[in-house]
Amino acid sequence: MADEIMEEVWRIKDEIAREHGRDLDRLGAYVVRLGCEREEREKEHGTAEEETAGDRRASEGGDAVMWVDAEFGPRRSGGGDRSGS
């Protein structure tokens, strides 16, 4: 299971790098933009900690997809069942 998770993390990392031409300046600008967007969401709706506290409790011992989606946005990969079946 851990290998599958790491493979997906590396695949998404590579996808983001490709989207930004593997250019550190473009990637840095993207990360800054994400931070600004998150800051704006927190101003409008409260912090991610406040928003996801209930999701974290609901996912303890089970699927943490709700927390991940709330924290980072919907999955970029768009594929696969997370249930492990």
The pLDDT value recorded for residue 75 is 54
Residue 54, Cβ neighbours under 10 Å: how many?
12
The pLDDT value recorded for residue 46 is 79
Domain boundaries, the chain: 2-72
Confidence of residue 50 (pLDDT cuts 50, 70, 90): low
Average pLDDT on 22-27 reads: 94
The pLDDT value recorded for residue 1 is 73
CB of 66 closer than 8 Å to CB of 48: no
Whether the predicted pLDDT of 67 surpasses 60: no
pLDDT digits (tens, 9 = 90+) for 40-49: 988 888 775 6
The pLDDT value recorded for residue 72 is 61
The secondary element (H helix, E strand) that includes residue 43 is helix 24-45
